[in-house]
Amino acid sequence: MAIFLCGALPLAAQPGTARLVAIGSASAEIVCAVGRCEELVAITRGVRVPPAATPRATLGASRGITAEPIVAMRPTIVLADSGMPVATIAQLRGAGIRVEVGGANTWADAMATTRRFSALLGRSRAGDSLVAANEAIRIAVARRIDGRAAPRVLFVYARGSGTLFVAGAETGPAELIRLAGGRNALSDITGYKPLTAEAVIAAAPDVLLFTTTGLESIGGARGVATLAGLGATPAARQQRVATLDDDLLLAFGPRVGSAVRALAAQLHPAMTPSVGASR
């Protein structure tokens, strides 16, 4: 694979001068949230940006992206979510391309990445404002759920009935569940694992959590009962199925506070519509 070298880059990509490539939804959301969306020249598949700021190219999937299509965009800086392949990062840096990678899927990581990427883009104040807004939501939600029973929540990643995974500890969904006042039903495993009927039944979740497109891919709420073990859970019997927009649930970007608020409202329905509002 032919890779050319890029020149030295400044500490911050100055507004109006950058060719930005965003690998993953969180990175792209930060770029747009701080007002640099028009300088995106490429994003990865599945990332959504405002129509008026559609970049020139859509690359492959974030977790499988290779260096070659990124190099072809002649970027001044690449901002990437934590799932970008390590080998690709090394190749790009070896070619003289600046790559900045965000943190993993925790609240602290999301806030730190928002601040760091905003500063790199010369928009520190905008980044601070985003963090402050998210922190205000988190604190307000925490106050509202204080003392409430935490339902057992199982996140199911679905892309049709043939692609089903569940989320254990050290995942973005697990962190959102915790912040929204729930308990991860599979906290005894780490990462994503294939769904099995035995594990699901043993987990006995009170609530099943899906992304919006994930639930649609299995035929909606009616399709839940047809999946291995899910129909036998307390959640299915009580028809407690929660959903969040894919990017909101999985990206862990500058809208993570909105994700916490939206999930808390579904886990604790008595709190709506004022969940997340300041007292």
Q: Is residue 211 over pLDDT 50?
A: yes
What is the Cα–Cα distance from 110 to 136, expressed in whole angstroms? 15
pLDDT at 227 (0 to 100): 87
What is the Cα–Cα distance from 188 to 267, expressed in whole angstroms? 21
pLDDT in tens, 162-175: 889 999 999 999 99
Eight-state DSSP code of residue 190: B
Helix (H) or strand (E) holding 136, with range, is: helix 124-145
Which domains does the chain possess?
20-131 (3.40.50.1980), 149-271 (3.40.50.1980)
**Predicted confidence band at 191 (pLDDT cuts at 50, 70, 90)?**
very high
E-strand spans in the chain?
20-23, 40-43, 57-58, 77-80, 99-101, 152-158, 164-167, 183-184, 192-194, 207-211, 241-244
The gap from C-alpha 9 to its chain's centroid, in whole angstroms, comes to 28
Report CA-CA distances (Å) from 264 to 11, 81, 231, 268.
39, 25, 23, 6
Beta carbons of 81 and 112 less than 8 angstroms apart: no
Q: What share of the chain is helix, strand, coil (3-state, %, to 5)?
A: 45, 15, 40
Which residue type is seen at 161?
S
Global pTM value? 0.88
Residue of 271, 272, 185 lying closest to 229 (CA atoms):
185
pLDDT at 48 (0 to 100): 84
Mean pLDDT of 116-133: 97
The overall average pLDDT reported for the chain is 89
Secondary structure class of 99 (helix, strand, coil): strand
Beta carbons of 62 and 79 less than 8 angstroms apart: no
Mean pLDDT of 105-115: 95
Q: Give the number of C-alpha atoms closer than 13 A to the C-alpha of residue 260, restricted to the C-beta side.
A: 31
